[in-house]
Each structure stands twice: as C-alpha cells, then as structure tokens.
Amino acid sequence: MPTPHESATQNEDANIAALKELLRIPSVSTQDAYRADIRRAAGWIHERLTAIGFLVEIHETPRHPVVVGRWTGAGSDAPTLLIYGHYDVQPPDPVEEWVTPPFEPDLRDGSLYARGASDDKGQLFVHIAAIEAILAADGTLPVNVTFVVEGEEEIGSPNLGSFVRNHADLLAADAALVSDTHIRGLDYPTIVYSLRGLLYTQLDVSGPRGDLHSGHYGGAIHNPAQALTEIIASMHDEDGAVAVPGFYDAVLPLQDDERADIARIPYSEDTLLDETGAPAAWGEPEYSVSERIGGRPTLEVNGLISGYTEPGAKTVLPAQAMAKISCRLVANQDPDTIFELVRRHIETVAPPTVRWELTKIAAGKAALTDRNAPVVQAAVRAYQEHWGTRPDFVREGGSIPVVAVLQDTLGVPVVLMGFGLPDDNLHAPNEKFSLECFRRGVATSIGFIQQIGSIRS
C-alpha cells in the first residue's frame, strides 16, 4: 500500500486536471452576471467532496451559497478540524492585461495561471487532495473534518457571520484551518498570526440634476468631481497617516517583541519597490513598510469615476462623482465604528454646495491568533518537515473576515496555513499558483492532519 504522501504524488496529474476544471468556472462574486457560475462552482465542490467520502450540503444564504462537507469517520471521541476556503474569485479585469485568458487555466514555467489559482481555489484544493491521499492510503483520518466553503469572500463575506452563528453546532470543531494567505518564498514558509480587517464603502457626490456644459455653468456650481477630490484629499495628512478623527483610537500598539520579529524578516523598501514598480515607498514614517502593511490600518481609494473618461475632450461639468473607499483595519478596531468615524469626517468637511452619500458595502474584523496554541505548533512542525526550515510568524496585510468570525463564534484557534507566493498576482492580472507550492502544500497538510488526532480545544 502506498503512504499518503506516495498516494498524493501518484495522483498529482489527476489533481491538477481537477483543479483546472474548477478554475474554468468564472465564479466572480461581486457581479450579478456571474450568478450561475457561482452556483456551478458550489456544485463542483459538492461533487468533489462527495466523491472522496464527505456528506455534503449546499446551504442557501441571501446571496451566494455555502458548501458544508462533513467526514465523521474518526468517531465522536476524536477531535474535529474545520477547514475553511472560498470558491468565489475577484473580477478578472483588466482582462486585456492577461497573457492567457483568466478562466482558461494555463500551465507554464511551473505555475498554473488563472483567476483564483492561488486565491483561493488552488489553496483550498490542497487540503481536498491531502485528505483524499490519506483516505486512499489509510482508509481513515485521525480527526473528523468539516469543510466550510463560501462564495462571498471577495465581497467581504456578508453572510458568513450569520451562517456560522446559525450553524454553530454543525460547524463545532476543535481547531480551524484556513489556507488563503501566502508564504514569503519557497525557502521561507510562513504562518500568519494576524490579519487586517476590512471596511469597504462607496462615496457618491452629486450636485446638479444632470451633466452641465462646463462653459455655461463652470465657476458658479461646485463641480462634484472636484468636491469628491477635496473630500478624499482631506482623509490623509501630509505624512500619509489617516486624518479621520478617532481613526487610530482603538488600535493596539505593536509590541516591542513583535516589532523585533518583524524587523528580522528581510523585507526592505527596495523589496517593496522591486515587487511593485512604485517609484518610492510611502506611509506613516514612524513604521517600517512591513509594519505599515501588517500592523497598521489604512484608508485606500479603490476606484474613482466621474464625467467623461474616453479619449479626447468633453467639456462637461459632471452631475455625479463616485469613489470606492476602503479601510484595512487592525485587531480591536470595529468596522462599524470606523464607518461612523468616516461618515462624521465627511459630514465635517463636505461643503453645502454638493450632496453626498456614504454606503457600507462590506465589513469584517481583523484577527490575531495565539502563536502558542498546540494546533499552531503542529503546523510549525509540519512546515518544518516538508519545507526544510522553521516557518516565520508574520502579520498579513490582507483581510479574511472569516478568521475573526470563526474565532469569535466557534471559539477555536485558527491556523493560517498559507501556500501562495508573494508574486501570485492576487486580485490582479495573471494570477498564478506554483506547482511546487501545490506539492509541498499537500505534503504539509497531510503531515499536519496526521499530528492533530490528540488535539482538543
């Protein structure tokens, strides 16, 4: 009989082919046009988990369904591991910048290119492949496993919180595992212990009831596009700190030992500039770039639109202007409080010469995990075995709202076991997932599951 690791190796080609099937489904959660594809992706997960022996149900929510699959063969005395993933993806635009089409997975240079390859279909599939390999080799698992796979992560998981609260018994577990983060590099495995939260809003500014001729009215009407820029410009000070009053009030300061840990990881301004192509670093001068990304909250403009944006000239005074504005939050900041602070700030700075409306689109809390929890230490050992080195503990700048939900609602430690690479082009054209990360990820997941049979929360 093969070992689980041998079984995984034998099945690799078939597994990549299966992952490609899932990646071909354009399950973009933010746009209604993809609603049918979202359901196809949920159906695909249902089918795959059923095939490896899980009892699977698709649960409706007000928007996109949650797939829950349970394997309880370890018996009621064994602990239960909850594995979270998401089958939805970011929109692929700008589509013209993709080398190969975003929903036609292409294997080249040792990586699989497709929207969702790394975030999160590929990383979710790592655990499906690992469990399949253990079951194929051993006929059983040392723990019960519950998969909870949602379709709304990229829109801020608006329904997952209530779903988890309403199904706390179904989802009860001793530990939770989330693979939706990246490692520093193939030689630098990483366990994320801190994630930023997210508040995503839309600011609409309007003035005249319709677009006006800028010659006939310009100078006597406050241009809504100009007013929008003035409101947004007021939200940062000259040093790059957020200037919304009260924004930093709840922020837990970074501890000295954490700052020392962060400083040991060689991520310099030069690295940042190499990775991004930006002309210079930016942000709060009293923090390193790693600290700004991992330990400090931000306010970003994610989109702007107003008036005429085609080639050439149109002398319009636009009736409306819109900005997408989001905040990355750190532990102890409440998204609802921050929304209210932003709203009050706009109320203070917005002039009576325009109308405005701020709409909350998504909100999720930040999360901090105890680095000393036994399940986290099991993950440390699994990485060490299959990547040849001890993993770094890092703070991640991205948001996975479910982590706070699982911690707060189910009361379980959440292990953030990432397998993506920093250059995976998440949320951007040419997203990819390295085959080497897939292979090591499957081995690490097998090793982790084999160790946690005795862990109870």
Question: Based on CB atoms, which residue is closest to a second copy, 253 or 279?
Answer: 279
CB of 69 to a second copy, least distance (A): 27
Q: Does 259 sit near a second copy (CB under 8 A)?
A: no
- If one asks whether residue 292 binds a second copy (CB under 8 A), the answer comes out as yes
- By beta-carbon proximity to a second copy, the closer residue of 29 and 111 is 29
Q: Which is nearer to a second copy, 79 or 420 (CB)?
A: 420
367 binds a second copy (CB under 8 A): no
Q: Select from 30, 61, 384, 457 the one that contacts a second copy (CB under 8 A).
A: 30
Q: Which two tokens stand for residue 367?
A: 């999360």
Binding flag, residue 377, a second copy (CB under 8 A): no
Using CB under 8 A as the binding criterion, the count of chain residues that bind a second copy stands at 101
Length of the chain: 457
- Which residues inside 91-120 make contact with a second copy, applying CB under 8 A? 91, 93-94, 97
Q: Which of 76, 257, 312, 372 binds a second copy (CB under 8 A)?
A: 312
Structure tokens at 274: 């190499």
Give the integer Cα–Cα distance in Å for 92 and 240.
30
Q: Which residues pair with 199 in a beta bridge?
A: 327, 363
Segment 170 to 209, residues that bind a second copy, using CB under 8 A: 196, 198, 200, 207-209
Segment contacting a second copy by CB under 8 A, of 65-73, 78-86, 334-342, 420-428 = 420-428
Q: Are 446 and 72 in contact (CB under 8 A)?
A: no
At position 456, the amino acid (one-letter code) is R
Segment interacting with a second copy (CB under 8 A) among 11-19, 255-263, 313-321, 381-389: 313-321
| Distance from the Cα of residue 172 to its chain's centroid | 23
Q: What distances in angstroms separate CA 341 from CA 323, 348, 364, 404, one per listed residue?
A: 17, 11, 16, 22
Our measurement of the distance from residue 316's CA atom to the centroid of its chain's CA atoms, rounded to an integer in Å, reads 39
- Rounded to a whole number of angstroms, the minimum distance from the CB of residue 381 to a second copy is 27
Footprint of a second copy on residues 335-354 (CB under 8 A)?
A: 351-354
Structure token digits, residue 422: 């920093």
From candidates 214, 337, 377, 384, binder to a second copy by CB under 8 A: 214
Asked if 113 and 432 count as a contact pair (C-beta separation under 8 A), the reply is: yes
CA distance 298 to 163: 28
- When the beta carbons of 146 and 425 are compared against a second copy, the nearer one is 425
Interface pick for a second copy out of 15, 223, 407, 434 (rule CB under 8 A): 223
Answer for the pair 374, 456: CB distance below 8 angstroms, yes or no: no
Region binding a second copy by CB under 8 A among candidate stretches 64-72, 185-193, 255-263, 426-434:
426-434
Question: Omega into 94 within 30° of 0, i.e. cis?
Answer: yes
Listed residue (200, 176, 224) closest to 303, CA to CA: 200
Q: Rounded CA gap, 112 and 430, in Å?
A: 10
Q: Identify which range of 127-135, 148-156, 243-251, 374-382 contacts a second copy by CB under 8 A.
A: 148-156
- What tokens does 232 get? 């947004």
Q: Does 399 engage in binding with a second copy (CB under 8 A)? A: yes
| Residue 301 contacts a second copy per CB under 8 A | yes
Report the DSSP beta bridge partners of residue 53: none
The minimum distance between CB 298 and a second copy, in angstroms, equals 4
Kindly state the DSSP code that residue 393 receives in the 8-state scheme: E
C-beta of 162 vs 353, nearer to a second copy: 353
